[in-house]
Structure 1
Amino acid sequence: MNTADLGLPVDVPSTALFTDQYELTMVQAALKAGTAERHSVFEVFTRRLPDGRRYGVVAGTGRVLDAVENFRFDADVLRFLGERDIVDAQTLDWLGSYRFSGDIWGYPEGEVYFPGSPIMRVEGSFAECVLLETVILSILNHDSAIAAAASRMASAAGGRPLIEMGARRTHELAAVAASRAAYLGGFASTSDLAAGFRYNIPTVGTSAHAFTLLHDHERDAFRAQVNSLGRGTTLLVDTYDVAEAVRTAVEVAGPELGAVRIDSGDLLLVAHRVRQQLDELGARDTKIIVTSDLDEYAIASLAAAPVDAYGVGTQLVTGSGHPTASMVYKLVARAESADPKAPLVPVAKKSSGGKTSVGGRKWAARRLDADGIAETEVVGTGAVPADLVDRQLLVELVKSGDVVARESLDVVRDRHTAARDGLPLSATQLSRGEPVIPTEYVHGRSGS
């Protein structure tokens, strides 16, 4: 796969250096100790949701699969590691032939999750699995945070379209990933052409205030845009006086004007005034698009306004105050020896300070009420209770190193809509509260 598909510069040969140095030094020490080949089970989960969030959204899985496929230590990377004396010659030899050959299971992308949910499970030798920790967490933490913010905004929008337009508010590569996560979470389009190119997301955009300021008169700017893009274009009407701009816009484009965009001021008040003015001018079908530092709360406050679409930038690409999902990647089971037949034993971090983990390979299922609405996230080890066998959440993503579960972004987007609709109504409340359903742990015999 071409690394450009990951949102990477074309001169980046692999994803192998998207990692922390201690991943490699652990491999070196484990190779010397004879423990590197012990079969191990790592799990990705979060201990808590961001404050005030009622559910999380699994996003970035498709990008993780791409990253695993491209995790290769080529000659340039090995030379860099050797010149910096980061690992020894034996480890460099081992890294040179690295190919992930294990299995990955996970919640399907677009699904919702809760504290303790085993969002992703990575199995193989200790050495091959531990190397993937940083890149997996980097992708899942970023994309899931953006998707959760997007999902809340989509709920607040109540079916009105949302436009992602945050590329200028974040790193250029993060912007592409953010567009993908936003589309998954319910946004309809993006302004970022790289995201449109790489992920086939619908793109939109017309003009900024600079285009109006370029011309001697606002009318000249509107006429130039309409002549170029047609009467169905969107004209930006708040560079000078909004009422005068709306009047000019309809005079230039006629009642067939597609939309006007408002980017400043009291959006609730201005939107009502603009709608009344458009109707009086005969432009009853002209839509109103609002932008200007919107988040889910601002969108919700505009529910009664005559707004047809929202453009969201900064708050979306920063996770609306929560730029990470706080996911961790922990060893939960490992073999007693390097013998392929050695049994697995549960392991877990037991330190104080709220950073404990639960040992053992997990399964997860969602218990539903009589109406088919989620009521409990059940996470366990050992045998799955008979009533939950058909409600298991983890699916196979990688088998013996081969990706087996690629999906289109539209499939993932539809899955998220269905998953969110399957939660209690309080899931979409913007007021602070606990996760919308509790997580129940069922402990059986097992590291296996």
Structure 2
Amino acid sequence: PPHRLGWAPNYVFNQPELERVLRNRLSQQKEAHVFLEAEVLDSGQDSDMAWVDVKLSGEATVRRFTATYLVACDGGGSPIRKRLGIELEDLGFDEAWLVIDAIVNDEKLSQLPDTQVQYCEPQRPCTFVVGPGNHRRWEVMLLPGEQSSGDYPEAVLWPLLSRWLKPGEGRLWRHAAYRFHGLVARKWREGRILLAGDAAHMTPPFMAQGMVQGMRDALNLAWKFECIFKHKVGEALLDSYQAERHPHVVATTRAAMELGRIICERDPQKARQRDADLRAKQGGVIKTTIRQNMIPGLASGLIHTTAPGAGELFPQPRVTFNENGARRTVWLDTLAQSRTCLLAVGQPSDAECKRLQAMAKRIQAALVFIVSDGGTALAQAGLQVEEQGAVMAPWLASLGCRYVVARPDHYVYGAAPDLDELEQMVNGYLHSLGR
């Protein structure tokens, strides 16, 4: 069956290549300016603007950049967060690990696992990760008394990999020692300055949620900034940023920490009991758990908390429709184009269509109908599409609803069984936006 969110649950990638793609895309945006090898010397704000003092590469003088808002994505040691005096809450996790990346020879690849493996062995817990192409990663727990920072000679690295890889079977690419923490900022906004990414939170890597936590921050802020700058919504909308993201990050981080405690157990007797407990819980059968099912939705903030589906991630089917006499198939998100989406299941009557058009206009939403007869692009009536595979229609049916409003960051504001409840929900959405 198709994945509920469209894309596969897990992906691996090469970070330098991803950064090249992102920078190439940024270079095509007239509004974006990238300054590499720049050093931020100071930051601050007043009632009108935020500012940063920056020393650019090759320049002797310091430049001051001003903006309506400043988003601090300056890492776990965030100087901006420290200048604001914002403390980090320690959720209680601190372990030293060494990450080793290698490029494996072609003839050796088939002798290594073909998927990620977690070795929960008390003598030295370890993670094996399959990267793109010939890239393989080993994450190795460092034991008490071992070097936990700085550079490591190959004479230290190769013995750690000897179970899987020996010199001549690949080349060591990079390595770095990390301390895995569970830390969350107590405050995410101070006036015109907001924290995002590692500046706001750090999570152990055991659910692979570090980078995507920051991406969720960015998406949450991006559509709210658009409401403020384009649609003249009041800046109080930004108060929902911490209200939504903080509890979500804490819950996700605690889940990652719990996995980490299972993985990092070094007492042999406790490890044997852990193994027995895990087997008993699974009934002696290996079961697949999709990681996304372990990640919570939104529990508070800008959602209609009493509505079905509120706070869930919006399902994303492939949809097909007729356009200029030809059939076209795209992801549903392609049609919403980073806007609010008002979606209905079933062929609408003329009266229903007019009422839905009016509601979509009020919240400046893309209006989409899931129908069963192929779908037609109708400029005034909204876009009628046929979904490929059973995703959206069964999900709404499970909620007892026909209509749903999804935010631009793909979280569900709420679903409704009829037009009257939908209208009340639309009114609530506008009120939440301050419009």
Q: TM (normalized to structure 1)?
A: 0.23
Flag the structure with more relative contact order, 1 or 2, with Cα contacts below 8 A and sequence separation at least 6. Answer: 1
Q: TM (normalized to structure 2)?
A: 0.23
Higher helix share goes to which structure? 1
Higher strand share goes to which structure? 2
